Amino acid sequence: MYLSRIALNTRRKNTMTALASPEILHAAVEGSFPPDESAERRSLWRIDRMDTALYLLVFSGGKPDFTHIIEQFGWPENGQKWESKSYDPLIEHIETGQRWHFRLRANPVHSVKRQSGNRGKIYAHVTVRQQEQWLSDRAESHGFNLQKDSFRVVQREVRQFRRKDNKITLSMATFEGILTVTDNSLFLNALTCGIGRAKAYGCGLLTIAALPS
């Protein structure tokens, strides 16, 4: 398993176009791996903003080649490289009871059943309270616990773009805070498979880091 990070050049038109249409970035991420590997395990990704810098973060089963992403969205003329680190040492030491700092970009939604009994319609949670409750409600099933004041929504945005003939509206929330592992197996699945919907559009990637000593 690998966690990779690529700095994005927001002064380039290509980059801004891709940020406005997650399908473009999804295709770019998928193109970073051989076809057989891409089909076997979907990679998770998200956009991270750190102060004034913008990064593409990718979690993958195999080691990626992001040359084409740098050529399209980075600083190729400056010999830019990307960072890729093995995630296995961290994953192998996950244990129940551990506390971690976490970051998650997700698509908090809920389904409302139709009177006809057919499949419910999906609606986005639009308030901070709703979005925080959405994550709290899913914590146990993903192998971790959240205290009421241990996390918060640090960024919210709505993207609208077209997919073929359909208009897609995507509501996203970025969560940060401290979690406690309650089920090792479920938590590992959350780390490797993501949380929630819209994973192809940059949602679902949960990352963790050690708490300051």
Check if the beta carbon of residue 102 is closer than 8 Å to that of residue 179: yes
Cα separation values, 88 from 49, 79, 121, Å: 25, 28, 38
Distance CA 136, CA 195 (A): 12
pTM above 0.75, yes or no: yes
- Looking at CATH, the fold of the domain delimited by 2-86 is given as Alpha-Beta Plaits (3.30.70)
Cα separation values, 191 from 95, 132, 144, Å: 13, 19, 11
| 57-109 residue pLDDT tens | 999 998 999 999 999 999 999 999 999 999 999 999 999 999 999 999 999 99
Read off the tokens for 76: 């190729």
pLDDT of residue 121: 83
Distance CA 197, CA 203 (A): 7
State whether residue 194 is helix, strand or coil. Answer: coil
CATH 3.30.70.1200-classified regions of the chain: 2-86
For 94-209, CATH gives 3.30.70.1210
Average pLDDT, the chain: 91
CATH 3.30.70.1210-classified regions of the chain: 94-209
